[in-house]
Amino acid sequence: MDLENFIERLSSKEPVPGGGAASALVAIIGGALDSMVSALTSGKKGYEQNQARIAKIGEEASRLKKELEVLMGEDEAAFNAISATWKLPKATEEEKEKRAKMLQEALKHAIQPPWKIAEKALEVMNLSTELIKIGNRNAVTDSGCGLIFGFAAGEGALLNVAINIDAITDTEFAEEERAKVRDLHSKLESRRNEGMALLLGCLKASPF
């Protein structure tokens, strides 16, 4: 991924990349911190009993990076599909009906990439929390940064799910999706609170 190019595109007046892809990037950064802490713990004296798990965390963080990079592209493609429906002809009732149907299909598809990004962000948070427990104590706040970056990414991605749900006319589908958003957001909050409590317990005094 060309980060400089992505930031330049993100800063432009173009609608993509947007909040979904940006959330994925934040999750990637959180996962990269998990990778770093894993590497800083690997082979370290005093952490011998957890070396197998530490190595596995590093592998999982690397997997998440690759999956999130793919989702960045999928999120852009999903928005472009919505945008394409806006350009469809609407001169006749038949054209209007076809356009509306295709837009609804595109909207339902568009919630999938940010939804998956939010799920991956929770996985990043899970790794961060585990590293707060068993990772290198000198890098515990790096694990904490991975945790809160994962939370920000997950919450941002869910906001992008929510705005697309608002435009879906299938009320039953929309309410089901909103319930899923609330459930995942609750999991994100719970993991953040648990991880932060563990992190603050590692410090001599709370900084906040």
Asked whether residue 198 is assigned to any structural domain, the reply reads: yes
Q: pLDDT by residue for the chain (208 residues), tens digit each? A: 789 999 999 999 999 999 999 999 999 999 999 999 999 999 999 999 999 999 999 999 999 999 999 999 999 999 999 999 999 999 999 999 999 999 999 999 999 999 999 999 999 999 999 999 999 999 999 999 999 999 999 999 999 999 999 999 999 999 999 999 999 999 999 999 999 999 999 999 988 8
Residue 187 domain boundaries? 14-202
Asked whether residue 121 is assigned to any structural domain, the reply reads: yes
Asked whether residue 106 is assigned to any structural domain, the reply reads: yes
Asked whether residue 51 is assigned to any structural domain, the reply reads: yes
165 Cβ contact partners less than 8 Å away, ≥ 6 residues apart? 111, 174, 177, 178, 181
> What backbone torsions phi and psi does residue 89 show, to the nearest 5 degrees?
-65, 150
Asked whether residue 155 is assigned to any structural domain, the reply reads: yes
Asked whether residue 93 is assigned to any structural domain, the reply reads: yes
Instruction: Judge residue 147's burial from the number of C-beta atoms within 10 Å of its C-beta, 0-12 exposed, 13-18 middle, 19 or more buried.
Output: buried
The pTM score is 0.95
Give the rounded distance of the alpha carbon of 163 from its chain centre.
16
What single letter denotes the amino acid at residue 183? D
Count: domains in the chain: 1
Q: Which CATH number goes with the domain that contains 26? A: 1.20.120.680
Residue 1's pLDDT is 79
Asked whether residue 67 is assigned to any structural domain, the reply reads: yes
Asked whether residue 138 is assigned to any structural domain, the reply reads: yes
